[in-house]
Amino acid sequence: MLGWLIAGCLVAGGLAATAAAPPQRNGKTTYRWVDDQGVVHYGDQIPSQYAGKDREVINPQGIPVKHVDGEKSPDQLASEARERAAQIKQKQHDSFLVTTYTSVKDIEALRDARLDQLHTQRYAAQQYIESLKARLGALQSRAVSFRPYSTAAGARRMPDDLAEDLVHTLNEMRTQTSALATSNEEETKLRAQFQADIERYRELHTLHSND
């Protein structure tokens, strides 16, 4: 086995000088790679510590004939896969923008329609919450006549249906209040998404007009 050889490439003046590549022997492939210090190596096998380095296949005349990517870790492969997926998604969205809209005004019109719909839903939710508050107030007014809220000696235990109604109304108020807060967040995201689409649409048309 030829093994790997240091061909001697020391950094001088900020540049690495590469020695001539050794010829292939016994039909084995000769690789050339550079370590972290800028030293060029040749050999028919890549040491494990350099498995992540790109390398070149050298012919008997010392001329690179093929580039071979270094081995990648699972994290690197996963990162590249995510990047490819993001690029595909971006291309699909770009295609959607240029084929769906004829102008920025089209995007703004859809944005405003979505916002109006969201505002209508929010107004309805606010009205519902107000009605729940009124109902809860009425139930609490009834509840003070019963134990454990009443301190009167002859106060009766609160009826089960009243207690259940109180709990249900209070839980519904909490649910609707949380949904209203989520609706506010959705509006912020919606505005940001449409603004990003407007900017990207303008960018795509600028690139198209420069072609």
DSSP 53-88: S-EEEE-TTS-EEEEEPPP--HHHHHHHHHHHHHHH
pLDDT of residue 25: 53
pLDDT of residue 194: 97
pLDDT of residue 3: 41
Whether domain 102-210 has CATH 1.10.10: the reply is no
Burial of 194 from C-beta contacts in 10 A (0-12 / 13-18 / 19+): middle
Q: Whole-number mean pLDDT of the chain?
A: 83
What percent of the chain lies above the pLDDT cut of 90?
Answer: 52
Q: Which residue has the higher pLDDT, 37 or 51?
A: 37
- Tokens, residue 199: 């900017």
Overall pTM > 0.75: no
Listed by start position, the domains of the chain span 4-68, 102-210
Q: Which residue has the higher pLDDT, 8 or 44?
A: 44
Tell whether the model's pLDDT for residue 169 goes beyond 90. yes
Other beta carbons within 10 Å of 41: 20
Torsion from C-alpha of 173, 176, 177, 182, nearest 10 degrees: 160
pLDDT of residue 209: 67
Q: Is the C-alpha dihedral spanning 203, 209, 210, 211 positive or negative?
A: positive
pLDDT of residue 27: 62
What percent of the chain lies above the pLDDT cut of 70?
Answer: 85
Q: Which residue has the higher pLDDT, 185 or 12?
A: 185
Tell whether the model's pLDDT for residue 12 goes beyond 90. no
Instruction: Give, as one character, the DSSP assignment of residue 40.
Output: E
Name which of 42-56, 86-100, 128-142, 183-197 the model is least confident about: 42-56
